[in-house]
Amino acid sequence: MPKRQASAPQSVEEIQAQLAQLEANENALREALRAQQAAELAAFIDELREQIQARGYSLDDVVAQLSKGRRGRSARRASGDATRYVDPENPAQSYSRGPLPTWLREKMEAAGYDPADKAQRDEFKATYLQLAA
């Protein structure tokens, strides 16, 4: 196996200069990537417009149809329709979102669940609580 020749030791300034050059190269590459992504998106949008027109649809109608589902979900969230859970042992106690109420935290801990773990919170809600009607 051939021996590698040790390169001459570099000074701190030389290493810093190389790092600065690498950073400049990285920034240039990121900018080139952004520009390429923008160009490809523009080309894709042009293709979609051509397909929409070729099939005889109006761009406004297609956009309205695509937006329908998105608006519905945000409207539900904005109106406060969060999933609400009720304690089956005490229906006066309920929880929908936000910080866990003390009663829920205590029930989780008593059942061996960690209230800080989202997966365990979700499992506990599905197993021990009822969905409010």
pLDDT digit string (tens) for 13-33? 999 999 999 999 999 999 999
- The reported pTM is 0.42
Q: Summarize pLDDT for 62-120 with one digit per residue, the tens.
A: 888 888 866 555 555 555 568 888 898 888 888 888 888 999 999 999 999 999 999 99
| pLDDT tops 80 at residue 128 | yes
For residue 15, the one-letter residue type is I
Sheet holding 130-131, edge to edge: 90-95, 85-87, 130-131
Nearest to 125 by CA among 111, 73, 92: 111
